[in-house]
Each structure stands twice: as structure tokens, then as C-alpha cells.
């Protein structure tokens, strides 16, 4: 489904201000077609297998860990973590600063889940810097998207897992789960924020795939990883991504001249197909691929295959246009 594992030929830290250092790496062909991979969460960080969506002979593959997670510092798992300077628009600025620092005029933007929201925000802000867009598991942080997954809707599909998610929250606070978790996740006492971080992250990790994936759940619930992931996600969700309601879909008109592919799992519970459908209707020029036997995760066979097909197609388009 994906290309063989490869190692980066370059790694570095980008000083982006506010005391933050953003980790990045480059792999593949230094003279190839540039692509930037935007990970999910927010707060998910990158993994070596993310390089494998791209032909290493034809792509210059750039991965970065967004503020506060992965190998970027300071890390959001620290008891005194300060996320005031961690917003969507800080990340958009970081991405474009990295592009300019790497001497890239234009690049392909690839993002899934939260990464799809960030890719849309970046491309709508800097359309002149984007050659193509590949999106997966569309998420735009509209109020009803957040309420579906964190306020009870998805609990109708996974009532057993939902029971574990609400267990740390007193009954009288369960009508506003995102806010209730916010109070606990940002309590400086590790005895409070660590169990909350694990519960929040376990809920998401357990619902990502069509079939249970215990290895994925175990990887995501490493304590430091889980706390950073939960804190950053919750911070973004409390602020609804710093977007105007419906902004990313409304502004899809800005992208109509940019070749794009949208890949969506039919049975995605985390980011249901309703959002991808709304984006498709607002942006019919983008190819819309529905994977009939998949949930949310990029690692699911049908989704991985569709994503690789998209990047292969755009690499071929580049070769054709250059020829």
C-alpha cells in the first residue's frame, strides 16, 4: 500500500517565536517535488511511517511536529505548559516560515483529520504557495462536529467506550464534556491532568479504525504523548480552532484553481462523512474518494491506498508538466 521505510537526510529545529522550537525533517529526493505533511490531532506529532505516502524518488518529503508535540519544544505534557501562543494561525505562520527557510517557492500540502483543517487554513491563507492538496478524514471544527464526537453523539456507536470517557467527569458536569475536561487537563497537578489526558486520548484512539487496533491505542496512550495530545486538542476545541463557524468550507472557493483529492472513510466515526460531503459540495473541482470499508485512520488499507494513488498522480502530473 505504501512505499518502503526510509530515513531522513536532514533534521532541524525552526525557531518560531514565543519560546517555541518546531522540529522538522526532510527525506526522499532533495531535488524532488516538495510536499509538506501536516499531522492530525492537533497534538498528534509525526511518525516515520508518514514518509511512506510519497515516492521517495520523486518527492522531497517534509514532516514537521506542530507546536507543543512530538519532538517540538516546549512540550505540552509539562505540568506548567503554556499554550497561549499555540493557535491555528500560529501554526499557519510556522508552516510558511518553514517553507521560506527551506527555499521552497511552492509545495504540495497533505493533511488528514486535524491536518485537513490546518491544510485548508494554510492553503486559503497562502494559495500562491500551494501546488496541490491531498486531504483525508475531513475535520473543520464546526460546533456540531465537536459535539458529535465529544458531547455524546459518537457514544451511540461506542457506548462501552463512551462510558469510560465520561467516567472521570462528575454527572453534573457531563453536559459540557469539552469544558469539564479542560479544567482537569490544565490543572497543574499531575494526579489530575495525567488521568484526564489518558482517558481523553484513549477514547479517540479506540474509535479511529473500523476494527479495533490495540497497537495504535497503546502507542497513543503513552502517558506523556497522551497528555500533550489531549491538552492541545482540548485547547483548540475550546476555542473552536479560532475559526468563524463554517469558515473553512465557506472559503473553499479560494482553492478552486488548485488540484486536490479528498479521501474519506465511509464509516469514520471521529470525523463523520457529513463534513467531507459539505466540503465536496462547496469545492466540486476537488476529486472526492469515499473508501467504502474504512473508518478514520490513514493506516487503514483502503485509505492508505487512496492517499498513495493521489500522491502518485500528482507526482506524475509534475513530470508531465515539466516534460
Contact between 92 and 22 under an 8 Å Cβ cutoff? The reply is: no
Instruction: State the pLDDT at residue 273.
Output: 98
Residue 47 designated active-site? no
Q: Does 189 participate in catalysis according to the annotation?
A: no
How many residues are given for the chain?
323
Predicted pLDDT at 318: 62
User: What DSSP string describes 295-312?
Assistant: -S-TTSHHHHHHHHHHHH
113 is catalytic: yes
Q: What is the pLDDT of residue 323?
A: 34
Instruction: Please state, in angstroms and rounded to a whole number, the distance separating the CA atoms of residues 135 and 288.
Output: 10
pLDDT at residue 119, as a whole number: 98
pLDDT value of residue 319: 52
> CB burial class (10 A; 0-12, 13-18, 19+) of residue 187?
middle
Q: What is the DSSP string of 230-269?
A: HHHHHHHHHTGGG--TTHHHHGGGGGTTS-EEEEEETT-S
Among 72, 268, 278, 280, which one carries the catalytic annotation? 268
pTM, two decimals, is 0.97
The residue from 50, 90, 193, 296 that is catalytic is 296
Residue 286 CA to residue 92 CA, distance in Å, equals: 22
Q: Which string of DSSP letters, residue by residue, matches 183-230?
A: HHHT-S-HHHHHHHHHHHHHHHHHHSSSS--HHHHHHHTSHHHHHHHH
Residue by residue, pLDDT tens for the chain (323 residues) are 899 999 999 999 999 999 999 999 999 999 999 999 999 999 999 999 999 999 999 999 999 999 999 999 999 999 989 999 999 999 999 999 999 999 999 999 999 999 999 999 999 999 999 999 999 999 999 999 999 999 999 999 999 999 999 999 999 999 999 999 999 999 999 999 999 999 999 999 999 999 999 999 999 999 999 999 999 999 999 999 999 999 999 999 999 999 999 999 999 999 999 999 999 999 999 999 999 999 999 999 999 999 999 999 999 776 544 43
Which pLDDT value is given to residue 316? 79
**Domains of the chain, with CATH numbers?**
8-140+242-321 (3.40.50.1820), 145-240 (no CATH)
What is the separation of C-alpha 248 from the centre of its chain, rounded to a whole number of angstroms? 15
Q: If we measure between CA atoms, which residue out of 7, 23, 114 comes closest to residue 64?
A: 23
Q: Please check whether residue 305 is in contact with residue 128, taking contact to mean a CB–CB distance below 8 angstroms.
A: no
Give helix then strand counts, H and E, for the chain. Answer: 11, 8
How confident is the model at residue 46, as a pLDDT?
97
One of 113, 182, 193, 280 is an active-site residue; which one? 113
Cell numbers found for residue 16: 518560531
pLDDT of residue 177: 98
CA distance 172 to 82: 28
Strand ranges inside the chain, DSSP E: 10-17, 20-28, 33-38, 59-64, 107-112, 130-136, 260-265, 287-291
Residues whose CB is less than 8 angstroms from the CB of residue 188 and which lie 6 or more positions away in sequence, other chains included: 79, 80
**Which residues, at least 6 apart from 284, have a Cβ–Cβ distance to it below 8 Å?**
none
pLDDT at 27: 98
Amino acid at each position: 500500500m505504501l512505499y518502503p521505510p526510509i530515513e531522513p537526510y536532514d533534521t532541524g529545529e525552526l525557531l518560531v517565536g514565543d519560546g517555541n522550537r518546531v522540529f522538522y525533517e526532510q527525506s526522499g529526493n532533495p531535488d524532488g517535488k516538495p510536499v509538506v505533511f501536516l499531522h492530525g490531532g492537533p497534538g498528534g506529532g509525526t511518525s516515520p511511517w508518514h514518509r511512506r505516502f510519497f515516492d521517495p524518488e520523486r518527492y522531497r518529503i517534509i514532516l514537521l511536529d506542530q507546536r507543543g508535540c512530538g519532538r517540538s519544544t516546549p512540550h505540552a505534557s509539562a505540568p506548567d505548559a503554556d499554550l497561549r501562543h499555540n493557535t491555528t494561525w500560529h501554526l499557519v505562520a510556522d508552516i510558511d516560515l518553514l517553507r521560506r527557510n527551506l527555499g521552497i517557492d511552492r509545495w504540495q500540502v497533505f493533511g488528514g483529520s486535524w491536518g485537513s483543517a490546518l491544510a485548508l487554513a494554510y492553503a486559503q491563507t497562502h494559495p500562491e504557495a500551494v501546488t496541490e492538496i491531498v486531504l483525508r478524514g475531513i475535520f473543520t471544527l464546526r460546533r456540531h462536529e465537536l459535539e458529535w464526537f465529544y458531547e455524546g453523539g459518537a457514544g451511540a456507536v461506542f457506548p462501552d467506550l463512551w462510558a469510560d470517557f465520561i467516567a472521570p467527569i462528575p454527572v453534573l458536569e457531563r453536559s459540557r464534556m469539552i469544558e469539564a475536561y479542560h479544567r482537569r487537563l490544565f490543572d497543574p497537578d499531575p494526579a489530575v491532568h495525567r488521568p484526564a489526558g489518558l482517558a481523553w486520548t484513549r477514547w479517540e484512539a479506540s474509535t479511529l479504525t473500523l476494527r479495533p487496533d490495540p497497537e495504535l491505542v497503546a502507542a497513543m496512550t503513552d502517558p506523556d504523548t497522551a497528555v500533550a495530545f489531549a491538552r492541545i486538542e482540548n485547547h483548540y476545541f475550546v476555542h473552536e480552532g479560532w475559526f468563524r463557524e463554517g469558515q473553512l468550507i465557506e472559503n473553499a472557493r479560494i482553492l478552486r484553481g488548485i488540484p486536490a483529492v479528498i479521501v474519506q472513510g465511509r464509516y469514520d466515526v471521529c470525523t463523520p462523512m457529513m463534513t467531507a460531503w459539505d466540503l465536496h459540495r462547496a469545492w466540486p473541482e476537488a476529486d472526492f474518494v469515499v473508501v467504502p470499508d474504512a473508518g478514520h485512520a490513514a493506516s487503514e488499507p483502503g485509505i492508505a491506498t487512496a492517499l498513495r494513488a493521489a500522491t502518485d498522480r500528482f507526482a506524475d502530473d509534475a513530470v508531465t508538466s515539466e516534460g
